[in-house]
Amino acid sequence: MSEFFQANAEVVERRWPALFARLLNEDSSAIEAELTQGLGSTLSIGGIQLTSRHDRVREAQIQAATLPADKPQLHVYGTGLGDLPTVLLERTGLERLYVHILNGALFALVLQLLDQREWLQDPRVELLYAGDLSDICTPFFALPAEMLLADDFNAKIRDRLVSEVHLSFNNREFDPQSPFIQQRLQDCLPVVLADDDVATLFGTCAGREIYVIGTGPTLEQHFERLAAIRERAGRPLIICVDTAYRPLREHGIVPDYVVSIDQRISFRHLPFEESDGIPLVYLPMSDPEVLRAWKGKRYGGYSASPVYAALREQHPRALLHVGGSVIHPAVDLAVKMGAARITLFGADFAFPMNKTHAGWNDGDLGPSVNQARHWVRDGYGQRVSTQLNFRGYLCVLERYIASQPQVAFFNSSRAGAQIAGTGFNQEFVQ
């Protein structure tokens, strides 16, 4: 045991005995670290530098400058080599600094190699595993290297950090001043004004069970069963997203409602020929030609996005929750209609069975499966490949589910992403 570890361990064990016991069980020998030299030096883990190799302190000062100077409590995700906590603790107005471990084995290794007592023994510091909390805390800075190196226990929080960090970038295509957006909203306005407000659907299914159907690969496991359930008396209501509509119809399943929000949805995704009697719920970014062709009743609504700010003021309509994927307003519609119980189908947020979507060819609805560079845990606890935006959509849905404690949420498959806040519907999951 190194001299540094003994000194560091004494502080950690005294201040956080339960956390120290967990650190002793971390396998730091599994971390392949090497010294990387520059004007200074740092550790590299699998080619990923933990910090600058030229000036660690200056890098930490730049990172610290992104955090508000007047907040009494701050959060740092990742321990790095201790530079950022040390710099932040120079702030006299800082009352509490929460340092969230993203890789336990890596932190245990750092404790062996470097003296970390300067920040560990500061009484304002609180040390914890990021994964012990259900969500992220703000304001925060997440160390970039450890966003890549987060271990499995802390991966869910890592995913939420990435989603939060990327939020403004992801919203760049939804600039209310975009000429395309302004034109699309103008073109859709006559349709919106002619249609019913989605609010007229709210509360119409109080206490009922509702199936919300996405287009993830696991939907294919349930086509036959859903077709049989559709013919039952007193069956659950079926709400599907736009890209699931065509595969469902091809398997003889007629949904009760279809939800569409994406400007890129075309007649290829929403064929109108047999849409008689099927209500369509939409937001005004939808293609107005696709909307006009739909034969069933239409219900318009908005989201809280700045894109709809002017419309919300001039032509009020009810709001649906939107977070990047059409699955979000579909679930929100089910909740606002009064569902007591919601079962999700094809809400995979991943590529189980090496597929991207049910009923569509690889690459039809986005990047192909071989472009997946990320992962989430499935219902079996195993890693399943995904893409970055899917992980973000999963985070949004999990937060939404946590905000609706009056509704029981279930998943219909273990093969897709594990969704926090859901159980498994035993009628479909063995």
Q: How many CB atoms lie within 10 A of CB 65?
A: 10
Residues 7 and 146 in one domain: yes
Look up the CATH number of the domain holding residue 111: 3.40.50
Same domain, 54 and 124: yes
Name the residue range of residue 257's domain: 176-424
- Could you report the average pLDDT of every consecutive run of 10 residues in the chain (430 residues)? 86 97 94 91 93 96 96 97 97 97 97 96 97 94 94 92 73 68 92 97 97 97 96 95 97 97 92 96 95 97 93 96 95 98 97 92 86 89 91 94 98 97 92
CA proximity to 158, closest of 172, 171, 148, 170: 148
42 and 137 co-located in one domain:
yes
Smallest CA-to-CA distance from 278 within 305, 259, 256 is with 256
Q: Say if residue 331 is in the same domain as residue 377.
A: yes
In a domain, 26, yes or no: yes
* Residue 400 belongs to some domain of the structure: yes
430 belongs to a structural domain: no
d(CA 217, CA 357) in angstroms, rounded, equals 5
Whether residue 116 is found in the same domain as residue 186: no
Q: What is the pLDDT of residue 177?
A: 73
C-alpha pair distances (Å), 157 with each of 65, 101, 216: 23, 10, 23
Helix (H, G, I), strand (E, B) or coil at 99: strand
In eight-state DSSP terms, residue 235 is P
The answer to whether residue 401 sits within a structural domain is yes
Q: What is the pLDDT of residue 168?
A: 57
Residue 322 placed within a domain: yes
Domain boundary among 165, 193, 209: 165
Q: Report the Cα 215 to chain-centroid distance in Å.
A: 17
pLDDT for position 388:
87
In this structure, the answer to whether residues 224 and 87 fall within a common structural domain is: no
What pLDDT, on a 0 to 100 scale, did the predictor assign at position 165? 84
Q: Are residues 286 and 245 in the same domain?
A: yes
Number of domains in the chain: 2
Strand order in the sheet with 33-37: 33-37, 41-45, 48-49
Query: What is the distance of C-alpha 2 from the center of its chain?
Result: 40
Number of residues in the chain: 430
Say if residue 233 is in the same domain as residue 291. Answer: yes
Q: The tokens of 287 are what?
A: 């293609």
> Is 161 found in the same domain as 122?
yes
> Of the residues 165, 186, 221, which one is the last residue of a structural domain?
165
Look at residues 143, 165, 187 and tell me which one is the last residue of a structural domain: 165
Q: What is the CATH classification number for the domain harbouring 191?
A: 3.90.1480
Smallest CA-to-CA distance from 243 within 265, 273, 263 is with: 265
Q: What is the DSSP string of 359-380?
A: TS-TTTTSS-GGG--EEEEBTT
215 & 362 share domain = yes
Question: What pLDDT was estimated at residue 174?
Answer: 59
Residue 219 belongs to some domain of the structure:
yes
Statement to judge: residues 274 and 242 lie in one domain: yes
Is residue 429 included in any domain, yes or no?
no
Estimate the crossing angle of helix 155-165 against helix 388-402, to 10 degrees.
100
In-domain check, residue 170: no
Query: How far is 142 from 167, CA to CA, in rounded Å?
Result: 14
Does one domain contain both 273 and 408? yes
